Structures are given as C-alpha cells and as structure tokens.
Amino acid sequence: MFVDAIVEFIIADDQSLNVVESPQLRAIFLLLREDLQDSDIPRRSTIWNRIAEVVNDYLIDLSNDMKNSVGKISFTSDMWSDPNLTPFMAVTAHWIKAKTEETPVGPRKVLELRADLIGFLRVPGRHDGQHLAQAFLFTLDRLEITPQIGWITLDNASNNDKLMEVLEHELRRCRIPFDCTKRWIRCFPHIVNLACKVFLTGITNMDYAAENAEDFFPEQLQADSFVAALRRDPVATVRSLIRAI
C-alpha cells in the first residue's frame, strides 16, 4: 500500500522518480511513524519496478476488454517530440465496448465508445515509413488486437504513405485483410492547416508582422507605422492593429 501510494503520487503529480531519494521527503515519512526505518522507504528502483508492474497489469486488462470489442478497432497516431527533441509515437485506439446493465425491465446491452492511449513509444533513429510501421505493429501485437485492425487516422506526411504500404504488406502476410488506401483516414485538421499555410503564403509575408519588425512597433505609436502596415499586407495590418489596441 505504501509503495502504491507513492506511485500514485508520482504519476498524478508528474513527479520525477528521484523525488523518493530526497532526504527532506524521507525525513517527513520518518516523522509519520516512530518505528519506521529509512530502509523501509522505497528507493527509485523499487518505484520504477512497481510502475512497470502497474502498466503491465493495465495493458492486460485493456487487452482483454479490446478483444471483445464490437466491430473493428480504429486508431489515430502521430509523432511528437519533447523539449529535448526526443521523438515519440503516440497511438490511440477507438473502439466500442458492450456491457450489460440491469434495468427495471431486465438486463440490457449498453454500448460505450472508448478512446484509450495504447502506445507512447520512443522512436529513435530514422522516421521512415518502414520504421514507423514496425513501431505501430508492435503496439498492436503487444495487446493482441492486430486481427481487429480497422481504420487509421494519420496526417499527410510523406513517410505515412510508406507506413501504410508496409502495414498492408505485413498484415496480408498474416492473412489479415487491409487496404492501405481505403483504411487511411487523412487528418482533416492537418489538411486545413496546410491549405491555410498556402493561402497565407499567397497574400502575406509574415516577416513584416514579426515581433521585431521595428516599423510596426515604434517606441511611440505614430501614424506612419499604421501606414507602413497598410502598405504591407492584410495579415500584418491586423496584427499591428491588435497590438496597437
């Protein structure tokens, strides 16, 4: 119970595992119980091992639930880098869980739409389609849900073309039907983002609206700064107006 309580604190509060090595924190624990010894307080390695056990137990339960999903399981995935530029692949599963609820007229089946993060993998090395496909399949194989694969939502990065082709090849080798074109849902917000960038490129030069554009941000607001904005482009004009207000 003591170890699990510390694990919950570290996870919920996004603490470093090294927090349990803090002499001040360990001193607080010792104050709470007279016969408690420093050796009774878990170290970083113990916390790490317990977190791994908790994650493994969670994945086992999740796998059992997802194997009984109604219909196929679809996925969204994207690459992400932390402030240290360490790359990760996130994979979220979208599926329908059927459960039985008791009602005054008897039991009934209730469908629940679920969305669960099933993978947050560090992906070192090249981010080519082959590598990403292997990471994606590893996530599904770990939960034993690969045969239930449905549709996959990805952005329009060029390496995702290869990712889907590799998935089709590998899945068909396992006799799992999969069409890399029909099963790829292209992320609509990403499409809108690309379209907006092309549109803005055609009507504006954002350099004119940069933070350090001197003629847009003089020490004292002057009429000629607004004239300069009007001569530039509409986006720079709006940015200058907002900052002036």
Under DSSP, the state recorded for 137 is H
**Measured at the alpha carbon of residue 212, what is the angle toward residues 208 and 217, in degrees to the nearest 5?**
80
Provide the residue count of the chain.
245
pLDDT of 34 over the 80 cut: yes
Coil, helix or strand at residue 107 = strand
If we measure between CA atoms, which residue out of 89, 90, 164 comes closest to residue 124?
Answer: 89
Q: What percent of the chain has pLDDT over 70?
A: 82
pLDDT computed for residue 109 by the predictor: 87
- Partners of 43 in the β-ladder: none
User: At a CB cut-off of 8 Å and minimum separation 6, what does 14 contact?
Assistant: none
Instruction: Return the axis-axis angle of helices 129-143 and 158-173, rounded to nearest 10°.
Output: 50
Instruction: Count other Cβ atoms within 10 Å, centred on residue 229.
Output: 24
| pLDDT, tens digit, 9 for 90 and up, residues 63-108 | 999 999 999 999 999 988 888 888 999 999 999 999 888 888 888 8
- CA nearest to 140, candidates 93, 106, 188: 93
pTM as predicted: 0.72
**Averaged pLDDT of the chain:** 86
Q: How would residue 167 be classed by pLDDT, with cut points 50, 70 and 90?
A: very high
Which residue in 190, 193, 191 sits closest to 201, CA to CA? 193
- Helix (H/G/I), strand (E/B), else coil: 242: helix
Please state the φ and ψ torsions of residue 223, each to the nearest 5 degrees: -60, -35
Average pLDDT over residues 130-138: 95
pLDDT greater at residue 29 or residue 210: 29
Q: What is the pLDDT of residue 105?
A: 85
Dihedral pair phi/psi, residue 93, rounded to 5°: -100, 135
Q: What is the pLDDT of residue 237?
A: 65
Residue with tokens 């947050």: 120
Q: Name 156's Cβ contacts closer than 8 Å, sequence gap at least 6.
A: 186, 187, 190, 191, 194
pLDDT, residue 145, reads 97
191 DSSP assignment: H
- CA gap 20, 50 in Å, rounded: 13
- Mean pLDDT lowest among 44-48, 109-113, 121-125: 121-125
pLDDT at 192: 86
Question: Does position 158 have pLDDT exceeding 70, yes or no?
Answer: yes
> Given this model, what pLDDT does residue 119 score?
94
Give the pLDDT confidence of 178-220 residue by residue, as tens digits: 999 999 999 888 888 888 877 776 666 555 555 565 554 445 5
Q: How buried is residue 160: exposed, middle or buried, by Cβ count under 10 Å (0-12/13-18/19+)?
A: buried
- Mean local confidence (pLDDT), 116-145: 93
Average pLDDT over residues 22-39: 92
Percent of the chain scored above 90 by pLDDT? 60
